[in-house]
Amino acid sequence: MFYYIIASSLFLISIIIINILATSLKPLLFSRYPIPFLIILIVITLTFAYIYQRKGVGAGRNITRKLHPDESRKKYLLTFDDGPSIEWTPRIIEILSENNLKAIFFVVGKEAEEHPDIIRKMDEMGMEIGVHSYSHKPLPFLFTGGIRQEIENTADAIREITGKSPRYFRPPWGLYNKEVLDIAGGNGMKTILWSRSSIDWKESDPGKIRNNVIEKMLAEEILLFHDGCKKGASRGPTVKALPVIIEELGALGFSPAGLEYIQ
């Protein structure tokens, strides 16, 4: 609660400062140098959007974004958010098991309660089931009770279905604050973000999803995909891209990492 008030106050103060700057500087700069002003504005916005899409936001010591380095081999870890989806998750699990791969699924509590059979299957297949949130809300904007409910209700749902306590947590949209991290940590979970996003939430072309992962792929990446989506939307492109990505990563000398690399 304390942190929420501080964060909200800082947010308000920054809005006021931006407003003052905008009203005093914008007319001056915009009327004199309209094109450079607009270009700088666009570049700043796009840079932030680029970093956010791929890396998530915020900083903190208790967050894992990359695998631990290992000089002897290049490796990767697959993670999937927003499921379980009755339509797409079983297909993704099938692809993974065909390739003898394990992944972390960061599930939405509400969906997990609706599809306990898929959660059970994930568990049987050796997949790791982590907490995403109960209803995919932006957690830093909630009060303490709301954050607790989102995280703990999901952990309870997973525990009830599998008999195991979740060990990993990923906040929706990668948005968090200290309170979110503390509550997840207090419930025995490590917060895991990602180092490379497939951006499959946006792409409808499997080739582009493949490019987002394969091009510039580094040695210790935690890869972000989505198995869940809004009703009526499709994860078909992810399902199509995944086998290609797995095969190409293997051909490029990358091997799948165990969870010991995020401990």
Task: Output 82 or 113, the one with its CB closest to Zn ion.
Answer: 82
Task: Output 56 or 256, the one with its CB closest to Zn ion.
Answer: 56
Cα torsion for 198, 204, 206, 211, to the nearest 10°?
A: -50
Quickly count: other Cβ atoms within 10 Å of residue 120's Cβ. 13
Task: Output 81 or 128, the one with its CB closest to Zn ion.
Answer: 81
Q: Which residue is nearest to Zn ion (CB)?
A: 81
Q: Give me the least distance between CB of 257 and Zn ion, in Å please.
A: 22
Q: Give me the least distance between CB of 172 and Zn ion, in Å please.
A: 5
> Which residues are at the interface with Zn ion (CB under 5 A)?
81-82, 172
Q: Give me the least distance between CB of 226 and Zn ion, in Å please.
A: 7
Q: Give me the least distance between CB of 15 and Zn ion, in Å please.
A: 26
Alpha carbons within 13 angstroms on the beta-carbon side of residue 215 total 7
Determine the Cα–Cα distance for residues 156 and 163; give it in Å rounded to an integer.
Answer: 10
Task: Output 200 or 249, the one with its CB closest to Zn ion.
Answer: 200
Asked if 124 and 146 count as a contact pair (C-beta separation under 8 A), the reply is no
Task: Output 168 or 254, the one with its CB closest to Zn ion.
Answer: 168
Q: Give me the least distance between CB of 108 and Zn ion, in Å please.
A: 7
Task: Output 166 or 249, the one with its CB closest to Zn ion.
Answer: 166
Q: Which residues pair with 197 in a beta bridge?
A: 224
Q: Give me the least distance between CB of 191 and Zn ion, in Å please.
A: 14
